[in-house]
Structure 1
Amino acid sequence: MADPKGFLNTREREVPARRSIPLRVKDWKEVYEPGDKAVLARQAGRCMDCGVPFCHQGCPLGNLIPEWNDLVWRDDYEAAIERLHATNNFPEFTGRICPAPCESACVLGINQPAVTIKQVEVAVIDHAMANGGLTPHVPQRLTEKTVAVVGSGPAGLAAAQQLTRAGHTVVVFERDDRIGGLLRYGIPDFKLEKTSVDARLAQMEAEGTRFRPNTNIGTDITWEQLRERYDAIIVATGALEPRDLAIPGRDLAGIHFAMPYLTQSNRAVAGDSVEGQISASGKHVVILGGGDTGADCLGTAHRQGAASVTTLAIGQRLPDERPEGEPWPLAPRLFEVSSAHEEGGEREFLVSTVEFLGDDKGNVRALRIAETEFRDGTRVPVLPEPMPTNSLSNPK
């Protein structure tokens, strides 16, 4: 522990400020201002280097968090990125997208605000990328084994990089026109600018990983051909089927799944011409679902110029502080205000959509909604019987 009194001298969390709302909703750039190194050093110095670092338990990757916190406090970013990359192939992605369960498990968080682990992680990788620290790790010898990776999302890319560095010849197949999967087309630029994805792909290509976009396995190449050509196959295609809402009026025009909406928006931001693009410009938008994907749609709708946006969540409003039933070091389910929610829009809780209502032209114009409730202390909401309903309609 570089600063044994760090958590005593600095008791508050200091995180990078978000850019002003009037400015950021006019572009697609990342919402956060660059972090100040002095602030980051103070926050990293708050880490107590616990004998049993529960942040390891909280982190699905088992990141060596106390080690690179110590190195950031010492201003040794070169060593910090080495320790960060020891467990994490893509900290530029996880540092921005991960909900940071490591911070919920931080021992300091029992009595003080937790260490800003997520911000320190982003600072370490951003410093490396800005200063030539993303050097290729070319294998010293090849195994003469070949591996096909189907899908170029984060799982497929991580597997491909590890296998390439082990000396195998790896080819990544992607059905879309660009490599990246969910990173490329599912996450808006205000959360993850695609320059980070491109920089990592350039490193992987320099290491020897081969990419084959515009290739649909089963059509362009059969599974039998893959088995003949490669010693091993990794299937990392992700979740491709959306969860539908089988209620009356579902076939009305103007009702869209989140992923086509986000994908088209990401393509447009990348400069592609998107025929028939789903756009929220000038429209009154309702988002069904209060999770991260809903927030991504919310921020996208703001930037497209939606007239209004309302988010409906079937669950109850989560508490602001850790409930007794979710003790440390568990990651509690808490009420959050994302950057997209900060930018505007209404949020309704404990409501379920039971019918879509349309006009005589077949366009959706209103939703019939019902209040939900929780029974027997469960987290599963249920519709009351009989079902009282209200109407949420398109303002005139």
Structure 2
Amino acid sequence: MLRRLCIIISVAILCQLNSSLTLAESKKPQQPTEFPPNPLEITTPDPLLPPLIDKQQLTLSELQSLETALDELNQEAAAKLQAGDEEAAFAIWNREVRLRRYLGSLAELQALSRFGAIAWNQNASEQVRYITQRLQTIQKQAQKQKTVDLDLMRSLGEAYQRVRSPQLALEVYEQILITVQQQQDAVAVLQTLTTMGELHLSWFNYPQAAATYEKLLNLTATQSDRTNELAYLQQLRYVYQQTKQSQPAVDVLQRLAEIYEQKNDLTKIPELKLAIAANYESLAEENPSLLREAFNNYQEAYLIATRSRQYVRAGEALEKLISLYLAQEQIDEALQTSQILIETQEQAVNYYGMMQAYDKIGQLYLERQEYPQALTAFQKGLELAQQLKHEETYFNQQIEKASSPKL
């Protein structure tokens, strides 16, 4: 009897447990889908549209009324965002942009581009994804057409840029480029390549940027377009500087210098010569024979800067020459150049530069144990330090060293 009672109790407990488990499973929340539906693809009828209307059936009057209403929705959304209600603003913009397609693909793209920029600035990544998905849908539809609508594609490329999708934008511009090349539209080819170059550059894709600007450079050379040639060379200079490609940089810089020489514009040349010399210094680390090119270009920079009264640039060139002479242990040449540097800094009214030059001369003479000459240099440096009220203690210490050399 007792055994039978235990069996009955056990069965009751198991039934209760099973019932509880079933109830728990029934109450278990459903797993959400990975992504909610794109609000830009909703097809629910909208009060702003006539009932059961197709976009091809809208009359001109209806289209005009719809456009006015959508402009008002855009303003309403902007006001909501200004008031801090982003959720309501985005809901209105999604509706507005969704209905813009009834005004044509170009009108929708322009609205998507505007909304995309807003969403990006608000750091609304999910909304940016929705807009990008819709742009891709429009792109697929456009690619099915027999002819390329260039206005549509350019607007699409711009919209991709607004949502920071450079690769998608470049795919569009590649298609535009092929089309305008086939049409032999030289102006459009230049414009498209320029846009692509700027896009590569803005996303730090320096290899592709360089390749694009090289193409542009070749095109402008055949068209004798000097203005754009200068602009593309400057962009290439920047790219090669960023990627530390010294030889291509030298080629570009020399080409720039030649153009300014032909224009007899000496003001730009010293700075270019300084940059050329610096790149030759880098190249000389692997090929020491190129160090002579660095010397030559620093000297040319100094001469042209002096001729055009750019004494600050002239001083920079002399300082670089002094460093090179010292690296080569050519002390006499370094001292002679330092004396010229003092004269140049005086013409530039750069007393601080003069003071530094006297210090450099003094240190060189100290190393050679030519103490009277070192003392003279430090004394002149002290005079300038007193005028500037800067580093007076330092120069007094150097004078003491030169006056009481250790035997």
Specify the structure having the higher radius of gyration (Cα): 2
TM exceeds 0.5? no
More contact order relative to length (CA 8 Å, sep ≥ 6): 1
Tell me the TM-score normalized by structure 1.
Answer: 0.26
Structure with the bigger percentage of strand: 1
Tell me the TM-score normalized by structure 2.
Answer: 0.26
